[in-house]
Amino acid sequence: MKKYVYMFIALLGLATVAFGATDSQIWGEMRIQNILGYGQEESWKLGPLFTMLQHKYFAWIFLGVLIGVPAAFFIHYKIIGPKVFPHSEKKYYAFNLYNRIIHQVAAVSFLVIIPTGFIIIFGDFFGGGTFVRMAKNLHGIFTIPFTIVVIPMALMWLKEALFNMDDIKWFMILGGYLSKEKKPILAGKFNAGQKMWYWVAILGGITMILSGAFMYFLDFKMEMLHNLTGMSQIDLLRAAAIIHNVMGFAVLALFITHVYMSMFAIKGAVHSIITGYVEEEEIKILHSTWYKKLKDQGKF
Ligand code: HEM
């Protein structure tokens, strides 16, 4: 096992050196000149906006989300507490192996993408250099598995993620999470909160991939986009950076919420995405519409 961990670290090290050593026109010294050359005169002049946001706000907002969202959940946990369902009763097989693998790949990707994203944001604090460059490369490398699974994940859960009338009622009582009571709540396989995460993870995830790719590949000419928007290459990059950050706030906030819900607020829910089984009691209370449907089908 140790052998594989070392091999993995060595591979990452090599990848970092390979990226760092590339000195082509695109990646090397010509980079900035190339970017500046792309139709400056038609530019949207996003420079001042980008500089202001980048210097004054982005890092602080990320830090605020990273501390604020868990703090709110900590208070929720202390005051309301978790919802605990018996784990010895009947279970329903809700996520097949394909669902679980796709989801696990996304989960592992995010567990690398998010911390490395923070190292990039606070690159100055970490003293720059190899450590931050390694984080930047890992951030890019782990985007690849997420890119592979994002469309399969979108498709496999699309039907369950479409909003319906149950969701309005769910929002009105905030899913019952502000009460200790275990009253059946209207929801299908996914409740409105889960659906919200689905859309942010999928559409937000794709936006992050595209805006990230723009920044990663820096000066590849995109004639179509230039013609369509009239934006210069440097402004396309500034727009990509702004979008990447703003969408990043939403993805981060909902990711923390998703992990809190599945690991803490609903005790043991995380097992469902490892074993595939959800507790009957949990379905009965938190997804009563789905429960009724399964019961009608004789599943319980
Ligand atoms: C450590 C990370 C993660 C954990 C512990 C986790 C846990 C879970 C669990 C337990 C479920 C099943 C919920 C249920 O019982 O119905 C679930 C569903 C889901 N997960 Fe994750 N997940 C993680 C990361 C991710 C990532 C990175 C994404 C996408 C980018 C993602 C997207 C989804 C979606 C779309 C669903 C279905 C809808 C929902 O439950 O919100 N998850 N996750």
List the chain pLDDT tens, one digit each, 300 residues: 566 666 666 666 656 555 554 545 566 666 666 666 665 656 788 888 999 999 999 999 999 999 999 999 999 999 999 888 876 678 999 999 999 999 999 999 999 999 999 999 999 999 999 999 999 999 999 999 999 999 999 999 999 999 999 999 999 999 988 888 888 999 999 999 999 999 999 999 999 999 999 888 877 667 777 788 888 888 888 999 999 999 999 999 999 999 999 999 888 899 999 999 999 999 999 999 999 999 999 888
Helix (H, G, I), strand (E, B) or coil at 83: strand
> Domain spans of the chain?
2-296
The torsion angles phi and psi of 222, rounded to 5 degrees, stand at -125, 80
Q: How far, in Å, from the CA of 292 to the mean position of ligand 1?
A: 23
Q: How far, in Å, from the CA of 46 to the mean position of ligand 1?
A: 36
H-run or E-run covering 93: strand 91-93
For a substitution probing ligand 1, which of 163, 273, 282 has the most ligand atoms within 8 Å of its CB? 273
What's the token pair of residue 172? 């009105």
Place of tokens 């996003």: 46
Which of 226, 162, 164, 174 has its CA nearest to residue 199?
162
Residue 259 Cβ inside 6 Å of ligand 1? The answer reads: yes
Q: Taking the model in full, what pTM does it have?
A: 0.87
Q: How far, in Å, from the CA of 195 to the mean position of ligand 1?
A: 11
pLDDT at 208: 98
Query: 2-296 architecture in CATH?
Result: Up-down Bundle (1.20)
Q: What is the CA radius of gyration of the chain?
A: 22
